[in-house]
Amino acid sequence: MWTITSMSDRSILRDITFSIEKGEFVALIGPNGAGKSTLLQVAAGFLAPTSGIVQLADRPIRSYRAKQRAARLSYMPQTTVLDVPYTVSDIIQMGAYAHDRPDHDIIEKSIARCHVEHLLHRDLRSLSGGPPTADDRSRRRGVRL
């Protein structure tokens, strides 16, 4: 069980416990500001909980080196600043960097499972991540993903 508190000491997420099995798809649904993105950032090891521990494969997630963690999970935020002409295919291929020998059959099956074949040649910067937020409007350069 873990908790994350904001700088103002307001609990953003409290008493969180969950597990996701290998190959399982999970959807987080909730209103803006509910803590969905924060939950994902903590679960991926990018933010540390105020209390408790996050584990990946029965090991504290913060004990993994970046490449080791990347071999087990991937995270791409809905919005980011990116000013490089990468295609969706480029980003998918980069996701396999942590594996010494990327399995192209697994990559192809993942593409099919996510139904993104029609997007492979699209410039990532041209994709929409949904309606803009106040954070997005405050960015001076880059694009929303």
What's the CA angle centered on 13, arms 58 and 3, to 5 degrees? 50
Specify whether the CB–CB gap between 62 and 48 falls below 8 A: yes
Q: Which residues pair with 51 in a beta bridge?
A: 3
92-131 pLDDT, tens digit each: 888 877 777 778 888 898 899 889 999 999 998 888 766 6
Distance of CA 136 to the CA centre of its chain: 18
Confidence band, pLDDT 50/70/90 cuts, at residue 142: very low
pTM: 0.64
Give the pLDDT score at 137. Answer: 44
Range with lowest mean pLDDT among 61-65, 79-83, 130-134: 130-134
Specify whether the CB–CB gap between 124 and 91 falls below 8 A: yes
pLDDT surpasses 90 at 21: no
Q: Which residues pair with 145 in a beta bridge?
A: none
